[in-house]
Amino acid sequence: MGFDPRKLPTVLTSEELIEKAFRRASRVTGRNKREKAINKLSTISNVLDDYFNRIISSHPSYDRLDNFYREMVDLTVGIGRIKKSLGALSWANSMTKRIITKGIRRLKGGRDPENVLKEVYGRVASIIEQIDDELRFINESKMKLREIPTLTRDFTVVFAGYPNVGKSSIISKLSTAEPEIASYPFTTRKILVGYIDVGGSKIQVIDTPGLLDRPIEKRNRIERRAILALRYLANSVVFVIDPTETCGYPLQSQISLLNEIRENFDVPVLEVYSKADLHGFRDRLAVSAVTGEGMKELVEVLKILAEDKSYKISKYGE
């Protein structure tokens, strides 16, 4: 199951939600004080019930998402945490319903409408205030989850390598992606997607944050995004090596990372030298984002890989 975080609704704060429900109730009328009070309470109950249900049902069942999305959500906001917040909304919904049902029963039983209203309003507001943190968390999650890209099922090439070696520069030259490029490591912090048009079909190109050669448990959150892209999305990998070491990392460490990637991911790995305008190494395909050298050849190789239908063993579901 895929998931488009951009479709998640904005979530009100507790104050805004109380405002919304009480404002709607303030417009309600009735034939007498008692009936009016009953109508007000039913309105509050309906507004809250609709609201809570809309937020809860807009979220997918996170455990059933495809691997890539599920792990990205977990890395980005924590699945346990978001489930806890959505659970708090359900709790608030049933609590406010119960308070309102009781209030209506008391009104029908002849209690003073003004007193009942005052008490129920107070208790409902207090319940909603108690979930303020959760409402805010769900709203912040929505913003953070927007960073997870929407993917297609086209043949997918993941660019990987040490930080600052020129991955984003190459990708910006050959695909529709518009990554940020800068002369310091960890410029790319999120997974970015672009496409190469290859005569009728598309190749999906994924830019990833740079990786250091170290065990997975030592990797930071930024690097882990790259690992998830490699693990779940790559039909093929382009491993970018900067032999000039102007990236700030020795060639030896880059090769060691390359070997680790070859060992851990069972897809074709294409090795490419970047910054060809700065060096004479030609024992691998050498490309330059500055002069354009090698770019055409790189796309040709990607096309051949994409045409090899064996990749069709799908990496992620519909």
Ligand X SMILES: Nc1nc2c(ncn2[C@@H]2O[C@H](COP(=O)(O)OP(=O)(O)OP(=O)(O)O)[C@@H](O)[C@H]2O)c(=O)[nH]1
Interface residue list for ligand X (CB under 6 A): 163-169, 181-183, 185-188, 209-210, 274-275, 277-278, 288-290
Residue 164 found at the interface with Mg ion (CB under 5 A): no
Q: Pick the closer one to ligand X by CB: 58 or 187.
A: 187
Residue choice 14, 85, 168, 204 for contact with Mg ion (CB under 5 A) = 168
Distance CA 45, CA 38 (A): 11
- Determine which residue in the list 188, 235, 236, 254 makes contact with Mg ion, applying CB under 5 A: 188
Which CB sits closer to Mg ion, 59 or 167? Answer: 167
Q: Find the helix or strand (DSSP H, E) in which 205 lies.
A: strand 201-207
Size of the site for Mg ion (CB under 5 A): 4
Tokens representing residue 145 in the block:
């989850």
For the chain, what's the residue count?
A: 318
The CA-to-CA distance between both ends of the chain, in Å, stands at 6
Q: Give the range of 89-97, 162-170, 228-236, 260-268 binding Mg ion by CB under 5 A.
A: 162-170
Closest CA to 211 of 160, 246, 152: 160
Residue with smaller CB distance to ligand X, 20 or 279: 279
For the bound state, the minimum distance from the C-beta of residue 288 to ligand X, rounded and expressed in Å, comes to 4
25, 34, 84, 107 from 42: Cα distances, Å: 8, 13, 27, 12
Per partner kind, with CB cut-offs from 5 to 8 A, the member of ligand X, Mg ion, none near residue 265 is none
Taking the complex as a whole, the smallest distance from the CB of residue 274 to ligand X amounts, in Å, to 5
Q: How far is the CB of 40 from ligand X (least distance, A)?
A: 56
Q: Say which entry of ligand X, Mg ion, none residue 183 contacts (CB below 5 to 8 A, set by partner kind).
A: ligand X
Give which of Mg ion, ligand X, none residue 274 binds (C-beta under 5 to 8 Å, depending on kind).
ligand X
CA 81 to chain CA mean position, Å: 15
Does 274 engage in binding with Mg ion (CB under 5 A)?
no
Q: Please, is 285 exposed, middle or buried when counting C-beta atoms within 10 Å of its C-beta (0-12, 13-18, 19+)? A: middle
Nearest CB to ligand X, comparing residues 137 and 273:
273
CB closer to ligand X, 134 vs 242 = 242
Q: How far apart are CA 271 and CA 243, in angstroms?
A: 12
CA distance linking residue 22 with residue 14, whole number of Å: 12
Question: Could you tell me which stretch among 23-31, 84-92, 168-176, 243-251 binds Mg ion (CB under 5 A)?
Answer: 168-176
Looking at the Cβ atoms of 187 and 246, the one nearer to Mg ion is 187
CB of 152 to ligand X, least distance (A): 22
Residue 5 phi, psi (nearest 5): -60, -20
Compare residues 180 and 197 and give the one whose CB is closer to ligand X: 180
What amino acid occupies position 108? K
Residue 51 phi/psi, 5-degree rounding, is -65, -50
DSSP line for 98-113: HHHHHHHHHHHTT--H
Q: Of ligand X, Mg ion, none, which one sits near residue 278, judging by CB under 5 to 8 A according to partner kind?
A: ligand X
The neighbouring-strand residues paired with 239 are 160, 271
Q: Which residues bind Mg ion (CB under 5 A)?
A: 167-168, 187-188
